[in-house]
Structure 1
Amino acid sequence: MKRSKYIDHTLLKAEAEKTDIERLCEEALRYDFANVCVNSYWVRTCAEILKNADVGVCTVVGFPLGAMSTKAKAAEAAAAIQDGADEIDMVINIGELKAGHDEAVRADIEAVVQTCAGHAVKVILETCLLTRDEIVRACALCAASGAAFVKTSTGFSTAGAAVEDVRLMKATLNGRCRIKASGGIRTAEDMDRMIEAGADRIGASAGALLLR
């Protein structure tokens, strides 16, 4: 696969303005990235700019904490798809996972996956807050729920993607879901390490710096 197509070119900062979003889309077109990844407010803007281009629009749901109701996540996802989103990155209910309430976690994911039928859902674990056992359990729940990808991080918590976590996710998933690594991936070498560990997609705010 072409190197640029690993990358979701990302801008999720609260202070992003329309000119910043337009620049993100222009860069995505120039470098032929897989997607832009933006907050849902900007989905319609991106969909219009990228219309008929081979660059998709990805947005986030339940971001960045994952601690809102399942109904709210499903509604947010539905609205984003209506506005033109191609892929949805949702945050898992981290507290319920850590409490061992796996059925609640699974139901939360399934509701968004079902809402997004025909669109890839990536489930963000926030691995920096989880133990190895919790990462393994979360991966199993994502696979059972029909998620397309499991994603390491929001980029807004205590740490981003770690190579050892990507390796663990790869071994646990065994091809049932793809893996997106995100958070703190700033150089081509960082990207190489994540791909070697098992990442199929890279989320990064400095996508051009990851290209050789």
Structure 2
Amino acid sequence: MFTLKEVAKTIDHSLLHPTMTDAELIAGCKLAIEYDVAAVCIKPYFVKQTAELLKDSDVKVCSVIGFPHGNSTIQTKVFETRLACKDGATEIDMVVNVGKVLGEDWRYVKKEIFAINKECVKHGAILKVIFENDFIPKDKYKIKLCKICSTIGVAFVKTSTGYGYVKLPSGDYNYKGATEHDLQLMRKYSAPEVQIKAAGGVRTLDGLLRIRELGCTRMGATATAAICEDAKERLGLKSKEVEKVTSGY
């Protein structure tokens, strides 16, 4: 059983598509306020404006760092983090250097995550570390990342960017995003205090409720309105009156 507020507060409303205009970002922030989601995940250049738009709401400002491929230098990622926090972000979603993960350069990986988490803590922000699991074929690397993040004490580990496209045998590109296997693995191998965020491919209320059952407390979503309207319909609500909704699982 879940309340409408619990559904909404699971969602980080994602406004990250490279073609989104300022008008679309403003509209997205207003939608996030309307549904009272957990956070707006916004492109870095728009953090300051987003903080202003959300200042009288309970919706947090989240920026992305090294997005979407994680290949910036550590110094660049730290600078991006510092600037985002100064502009008003209180949450940071950072992409790891996947090449360093696959090359098993764990010293570098630890150094990077530690440096960015330190910068977040300095500004009173929290860090979500994006693994980009579509690029990581072996569970052992995901497990190692969970353990590193747990030792450092980040707030969240996150499955994907939603833009981790892999070339298929057909020549087309696609991604799996947040799979049940990965969510279960990340919950199992992360410290209890490290939360799990699902991203990529979760577009329905039942999908949201399922990932909550798997131990996730946040998910990235572009289908925020559809999910919340479905929740309201199941509750028989015309307003944001809070009642109960069952998952169907």
- What TM-score comes out, normalization by structure 2 length? 0.83
Matches within 5 A, 1:58-97: 58-97=62-101
Mind listing any 5+ residue stretches in structure 1 that lack a counterpart?
none
Q: What secondary structure is seen at the aligned counterpart in 2 of 1:49?
A: helix
- Give the conservation status (yes or no) of the 8 Å contact 2:102–2:141: yes
1:94-133 CA distance string (max 9 Å, x none): 1111111111101000111111112110000001121111
- Say whether residues 1:194 and 2:211 are aligned partners: yes
- Say whether residues 1:129 and 2:129 are aligned partners: no
User: Of 141, 151, 155, which residue of structure 1 is paired with 2:148?
Assistant: 141
- Say whether residues 1:184 and 2:201 are aligned partners: yes
1:63-120 CA distance string (max 9 Å, x none): 1111110000000000000111110000011111111111110100011111111211
State the partner residue of 1:165. Answer: 182
State the partner residue of 1:99. Answer: 103
Mind listing any 5+ residue stretches in structure 2 that lack a counterpart?
166-174, 232-249
Higher relative contact order (CA 8 A, sep 6+): 2
Q: Distance in 1 between matches of 2:80 and 2:47?
A: 12
- Give the conservation status (yes or no) of the 8 Å contact 2:90–2:125: yes
Over aligned residue pairs, what C-alpha RMSD do you find? 1.0
Q: What secondary structure is seen at the aligned counterpart in 2 of 1:184?
A: coil
User: Of 11, 34, 57, which residue of structure 2 is paired with 1:30?
Assistant: 34
State the partner residue of 2:157. Answer: 150
Q: Distance in 2 between matches of 1:107 and 1:176?
A: 21
State the partner residue of 2:234. Answer: none
After superposing on structure 2, the runs of 4+ consecutive aligned residues of structure 1 that deviate more than 6 Å are none
1:28-83 CA distance string (max 9 Å, x none): 11100001001101101110111131001101001111111000000000000011
State the partner residue of 1:52. Answer: 56
- Say whether residues 1:40 and 2:44 are aligned partners: yes
Matched to 1:90, the amino acid is M
Q: Distance in 2 between matches of 1:11 and 1:174?
A: 29
Q: CA deviation at 1:174?
A: 3.9
Matched to 1:57, the amino acid is V
Q: CA deviation at 1:14?
A: 1.1
Structure index of larger Rg: 2
- Give the conservation status (yes or no) of the 8 Å contact 2:150–2:191: no
State the partner residue of 1:10. Answer: 14
- What TM-score comes out, normalization by structure 1 length? 0.97
1:13-37 CA distance string (max 9 Å, x none): 1111111111111111110000100
User: Of 113, 125, 135, which residue of structure 1 is paired with 2:117?
Assistant: 113
